[in-house]
Every structure is written in structure tokens, then in C-alpha cells.
Structure 1
Amino acid sequence: MKSLILRIDRASTALAMAVACFMLVVASSLGMFQIVTRFVLEQPAEWSEILIRVSLIWMVFMGIPMAFRQGAMVSVDVLYRWSPPKARRVLDWLVCLAALALIGVIVWWGWDYAKRGGVQTMAGLESVSMFWAYLALPVGGLFSVVGIVANLIDPQRNELETAQ
């Protein structure tokens, strides 16, 4: 079971990170496009601004699973360093449960916002629903659940090991 969860985690975290990287490329490319159209051609493309915003939101929420997997999201370094080994495992469980509770709220309300935002349109892109922007919250949250559970099973404390 442990190896299955870790395999699923590797695949889902890699997919989430690929989407996050792609969204960074989209945002930076659109930013350059916007600079050229606004200041060189003096014909601003108003649709590019909202797409930059949406792609940055997707980038953040799809990058969060990797942060959880690396053990870098909910940081309790001092408490972890001062705790004896048995207390560290309890601390791992507490952090996991707190993170799952937070992600549960994000998924719940994010899906609610996405459903409600389905009737709104994006400024500058009147044919595109805000559903797609709000959908980043529950999708990123569901990917994060896998990373949180995988980090509990196989802890990786990369930020703790590199801290001075």
C-alpha cells in the first residue's frame, strides 16, 4: 500500500509541477506580449492581463503539492528540532492533520466558488467563464492531499536539512 501511494504521489506531483511550470511560461510569455503591445505597438491587449492573473493562480495552486511533498509548506522547524524522536512522529501527524484540514476547506470552498463563478465571465474575455479560474483551488487542493499523505508516509524535510 505504501509503495502504491508513493507511486501515485510521484506521478501526480510530477503532473502538478509540469502544469505549474507551464503556467509560469504562459504568464511570462503573456507578460512580454503585453509589454510589446502596450508600449511598442501602443495597442494594449486587455485580455492578456486576466490570462496572466489566471495562469499565476493556477501556477501557485499546482505548485503547492510539491511544497507539501518536500516538507516545505507547513514549517515547524524549531519544534521539530527540539522534540525527541517519538514526539517528532506525533508532530508529523499533527502537521498532516492540520494541513489536510486546511486543504479540505480550500477544496470545499474552492469548488463552491467555481460553481458560483460559472455565471461570471472574465473581464476582457467575455466568452470565458470564471469557473476555470476558480477551479484552480479544488484541483490544486486534491493534488496537495496526495503530497501531504505521501509526506506523512515518507517524510522529506529538504528545507529543514538545508537550513542553517
Structure 2
Amino acid sequence: MKNSFLKFESFTTGLAMAIACAMLGIASCLGLFQIITRFVLERPAEWTEVLIRFSLIWMVFLGIAPAFRQGAMVSVDVLYRWSPPSIKRVLDYVVTIAALILIAVLIWWGWDYANRGKVQSTIGLEDVSMFWAYLAIPVGGVFSAIGVIGNLFDPQRLELETAQ
């Protein structure tokens, strides 16, 4: 069961990271396109600003999942370093529960916010609802919850190993 979940978690975290990287690439290309149309062609494309904002929102909320998986998000380094091994595992559970509560709040209110944004259109892309931007909050939360549980089952403390 644990190995199956970790395989699933590895896939979902990799997918979240790939999509987050793609969103960064899209934002960069659109930014370059916007610069060219605005300053070279002198005919700005208003829709690029909105799509850059959407892609950056998705990038951030999907990029949180790999950070949680690596143990780099909720950091209690000093307390963890000073604790004996028996307390470290309790600390892992406390941090996991706190992170899952925060993520549950994000998923709950993010979904509510996304549904409220269905009637709101975006400036520059009038046919696109704000639902698609706000949907990044609950979707990123689901990916993050999977990463948090994966980190509990197979802890990776990469920031502790590289810290001086």
C-alpha cells in the first residue's frame, strides 16, 4: 500500500512540476511576445498580460507540491535538529497535520472562490471566466496534499542537507 501510494505520489508530483515548468515557459514566451508587440511593432496585445498572470498563478500553486514533497515548505529546522529521534517522528506528524489543515482550508475556500469567479470575466479575454485562474488554488492544494502525505511516508529533507 505504501509503495503504491509513493509511486502515485511520484507521478502526481512530477506532473505538477512539469506543468509548473510549462507555465513558467509560457509566461516567459508571452512576456517576450508582449515586449515585441508593444515596443517593436507598437501594437500591444492586451491578452498576453492576462495569460501571463494566469500562467504564473498556476505555476505557483502547482510548484508548491514538489516543495512540500521535498520537505522544503514547512520548515522547522532548528527544532528538528535539536530533537531526539523519537521526538522527530512526532514532529513529522505534527507538521504534516498542520500542513494538511492549511491545505484543506485552501482547497475548500479555493473551490468556493473559483465557483464565485465563474460569473466574472477577465479584462482582455472577455470570453474566459476567472474560474480558470482561481481553479489553481484547489488543484494545487490537492497536489500539495499528496506531496505532504508522501513526505510523511518517505521523508526527504533536502534543505537540511544543504544548509550550512
Matched, 1:3 2:11: no
Q: Which blocks of at least 5 consecutive residues in structure 1 are unaligned?
A: none
Partner SS state of residue 127, structure 1: strand
2: CA distance, partners of 1:125 / 1:10: 35
2: CA distance, partners of 1:161 / 1:93: 20
Q: Stretches of 4+ moved more than 6 A in 1?
A: none
How big is the shift at 1:84?
0.5
1: CA distance, partners of 2:41 / 2:105: 45
Matched, 1:46 2:50: no
How big is the shift at 1:102?
0.6
2: CA distance, partners of 1:123 / 1:99: 34
User: What's the CA shift string for 1:107-139, capped at 9, x where partnerless?
Assistant: 001000110000001110000000000000000
1: CA distance, partners of 2:48 / 2:96: 38
1: CA distance, partners of 2:123 / 2:86: 53
What's the TM-score once normalised by structure 2's chain length? Answer: 0.99
Between the aligned residues of both structures, percent identity stands at 70
1: CA distance, partners of 2:71 / 2:128: 36
RMSD, aligned α-carbons: 0.5
1: CA distance, partners of 2:43 / 2:101: 46
How big is the shift at 1:13?
0.5
Q: What does residue 73 of structure 1 align with?
A: 73
1: CA distance, partners of 2:119 / 2:26: 25
1: CA distance, partners of 2:105 / 2:36: 40
What's the TM-score once normalised by structure 1's chain length? Answer: 0.99
Question: Number of matched residues?
Answer: 164
